[in-house]
Amino acid sequence: MSRLASQAIKKIDFAADLFRQAKHAVVLTGAGVSTPSGIPDFRSEGTGLWSKSEAMEVASLSTFRYDPSKFYNWFRPLASKIINAAPNSAHTTLAEMGKAGYLKTVITQNIDVLHQKAGSKNVIEMHGTLRTLSCTQCFKQFESAPYLEIFVEAGALPHCPDCSAILKPDVILFGEQLPQKAWLKAQEAARHCDLMLIVGSSLEVLPVAGLPMQTLERGGHLIIINQIPTYLNVRADIVFTEDASTLLPLLAEEILNHG
């Protein structure tokens, strides 16, 4: 605890109390939980993926349909970072909290599968996953690793081994709807939890950004760990602006060792 100011330590104590009192806590994570693993976020000024003018056009369903190579050329550096990334202390801490019973569900906006690699079990992927690819013609699904490794190394676009059509990563592009099953499960988790922890999300992307409101409207508590303000800072019980990979282990230590 000596690494933080006394005010932050008091906030950690308060947050730990909320976790110990909660009967059903969930976490909503965004890009900020994975930046310590070397994966760029989407909205930081000048460095985020969406701060580049062409990104929203290239990372769209229409672009993929008409010119998949244009999408894949843009996607290649990000795919390389994701397949080579390892979970950081934020991911492993959330997994430990889940294993100890303090977190029931992980709702994530990330596509990098790092929560699962860290050991989290009940993960709802709101924006899809890079774990699999689907054929755009016969709709068969394949594990992405062997295809993406070849793509990252040699630039070879992934094609279906059965019908030769292009394979699309099972991630949600602009112009696509959220996975219906994941959206329904996330709403149920948000409505039934009595504590929601938000980690590394700017809460700017709808409809996921509205999930914490469903918790608040039913009397639940809200803890935010994010380095830039969100629209719900004024409604949160506690707001931390420290890096999640530093803050979360300290919070978990207080919860698990002093419970």
Task: Verify that 115 and 183 share a domain, yes or no.
Answer: yes
Are residues 259 and 187 part of one domain? yes
171, 195, 224: which is the final residue of a domain?
171
pTM for this model (two decimals): 0.92
Say how many domains are in the chain: 2
- Residue at which a domain ends, from 171, 199, 229: 171
Partners of residue 105 on adjacent β-strands: 26
Does residue 155 share a domain with residue 34? Answer: no
* Same domain (yes/no): 204, 117: yes
Per cent of the chain over pLDDT 70 is 92
Residue 28 has pLDDT above 80, yes or no: yes
CATH number, position 28: 3.40.50.1220
59, 150, 202, 254 from 49: Cα distances, Å: 10, 23, 14, 35
Q: Which helix (H) or strand (E) holds 143?
A: strand 141-143
Whether 3 has a pLDDT exceeding 60, the answer reads no
What integer is the mean pLDDT of 124-136? 97
77 shares a domain with 58:
yes
Answer whether 114's CB lies under 8 Å from 85's CB: yes
Tokens standing for residue 200: 């590394």
Query: Is residue 257 predicted with pLDDT exceeding 90?
Result: no
**Measuring CA to CA, which residue among 198, 243, 241, 199 is closest to residue 216?**
198
Over range 240-244, report the average pLDDT: 94
When pLDDT is cut at 50, 70 and 90, the band that residue 105 belongs to is very high
The terminus-to-terminus CA distance of the chain in angstroms comes to: 16
Q: Which domain holds residue 239?
A: 1-39+87-127+178-259
**Least reliable range by pLDDT among 27-36, 38-47, 218-227:** 38-47
Residues 53, 113 share a domain: no
Same domain? 194 vs 235: yes
Same domain, 204 and 233: yes
- For residue 40, what pLDDT is reported? 85
Query: Burial letters for 110-132: b for 16+ Cβ neighbours within 10 Å, e otherwise?
Result: bbbbbbbbbebeebbbbbbbbbb
**Are 150 and 234 contained in the same domain?**
no
Mean pLDDT of 92-115: 97
Query: pLDDT category, 259, cuts 50, 70, 90?
Result: low
State the average pLDDT over residues 106-120. 97
Query: What average pLDDT score do residues 224-246 get?
Result: 96
Same domain, 149 and 233: no
Decide: 110 and 127 in contact? Cβ < 8 Å. Answer: yes
Which residues are annotated as catalytic? 127
Residues 160 and 232 in one domain: no
CATH number for the domain that contains residue 143: 3.30.1600.10
78 in the same domain as 11: no
